[in-house]
Amino acid sequence: MITIGALSKRTGVNIETIRYYERIRLIPPPPRTDSGRRLYGAEDVRRLTFIRHARDLGFDIAAIKTMLALQGVPEAPCEQVSRIATNQLEAVESRIRRLLGLRTELTRMIKECDNGKVATCRIIEVLADSADHPDGP
């Protein structure tokens, strides 16, 4: 059994985040010592590592809860997990497209800048004109 500090170091998850995950029942409340210190076992390390990795990949809490619940049914088909991962991939690809558009727009703005006076700065002009186009580039 390990303390919350050791769990944090082992998994790379902040202590406050671990407490938050307990409050929202993403991880089960651990047993406590007589003095109230939380104690975690190997299953907690595995579960929290899974959660951290899923969060790193951009999965939201609801998706993670679903995948964790499905882990408890090892004989169930993997279709729902695959669907969750596919949806996440589509969201990532959408963000990439948006970021590529942002990069193009920023590159264009910078290239059009003649580094003169702020009063005639093309970057300032483009940003001010963007207010007319709330959907962006």
pLDDT in tens, 66-116: 999 999 898 988 999 999 999 999 999 999 999 999 999 889 888 887 777
- Same domain as 89, residue 50: no
How many structural domains comprise the chain? 2
Domain that holds residue 42: 4-58
- Tell the residue number behind the tokens 């939380």, with chain if given: 38
**For residue 15, what is the domain's CATH number?**
1.10.1660.10
> Is residue 137 in a domain?
no
Statement: residue 62 has pLDDT above 60 = yes
pTM over 0.85: no
Residue 117 has pLDDT above 90, yes or no: no
Report the C-alpha dihedral over residues 37, 38, 42, 44, rounded to 10 degrees. -160
